[in-house]
Amino acid sequence: MPKTYNILAVGDVCGKPGLDIIRSKLPGLKRHYDISFCVVNGENADMRGLTPDQADMLLTFGADVVTLGNHAWSNRSILPYLDDNRFILRPGNFAPQAPGRGWDVFPSPMGNIFVMSLIGRLGMDSMTDSPFFALDRALSSDAAGRCRIRLVDFHAEATSEKLAMRHYAAGRVTCLWGTHTHVQTSDAEVTRDGAGYITDLGMTGAVDGILGVKPETSVDHFLGNPRLRYETAAGAAKLECCIFEVFPDSGKALRAEALRIT
């Protein structure tokens, strides 16, 4: 059988509990599963957005690429850094004048890898282009054409939109995973076109919160009380992720396995 490699995709890192478990667990997790390339969604590292220091921390502790989402601009200190650090990707279907980039090609032990960040439109308050046509444009580039391994983080609210992307991207990507909803789905699979897929990776942050948020502040919102600023939940953390085993020669996936580390 041709040689395979393992790729790790880590769900949205939420606040200090998420950053702490990345620091304590990600290096060992990568060694244990012989991970050759790792993508971490970092758009909630500062709960709303992330700072340049937090992005550097994720890259130092094991992320090869950090992807973002609807909170890409929430902490504005990251804006100039997106042009300076090509290992951070904001959604590729943001307006063309937005800082940074939505996809790029990165070196790895299995050769060059194309990685793209996309954001959905259903239930998302973002003025974005179609993620479907943005994917087409990026995949038709010469750079993407030279990469057998193609990875996509689709940051979206609706399971239907993520599954639509799964079918639309079929046969053209190696792995496609969803982020944003912070609840890990149980549908990790390899499609009949050979793509590794999961609707949502889950999140990396406090176990006893509401999507990483302190429960009282979130419950208060649903009771209709005057809105408080969301605070990060405290306590023990979990790291949710998916491992994809891939063939670098064909760009196809062999296995997709969701994991939760506590």
Site residues, Fe ion (CB under 5 A): 69-70, 180
Whole-number Å distance between alpha carbons of 252 and 149:
8
Nearer to Fe ion, 11 or 62 (CB): 11
- Tell me the closest approach of the beta carbon of residue 105 to Fe ion, in angstroms: 25
| Positive or negative: CA dihedral 80, 86, 89, 95 | positive
Least Å distance, CB 4 to Fe ion, is 31
Using alpha carbons, select from 240, 232, 239 the residue that is nearest to residue 16: 232
Q: In whole angstroms, what is the distance from residue 18 CA to residue 14 CA?
A: 5
Active site residues: 71
Q: Which amino acid is at 220?
A: D
121 vs 180 by CB, closer to Fe ion? 180
- Dmax (CA) of the chain: 60
Q: Shortest approach of Fe ion to residue 41 CB, angstroms?
A: 8
| Pick 47 or 243: Cβ nearer Fe ion | 47
Residue 160 to residue 158: CA distance in whole angstroms: 5
Closest approach, Cβ 179 to Fe ion, in A, equals 7
Please say which residue, 5 or 154, places its beta carbon nearer to Fe ion.
Answer: 154
- Closest to Fe ion by CB, 15 or 251: 15
In the bound complex, what is the minimum distance in angstroms from residue 66's beta carbon to Fe ion? 14
Closest CA relative to residue 236, chosen from 213, 215, 209, 207: 207
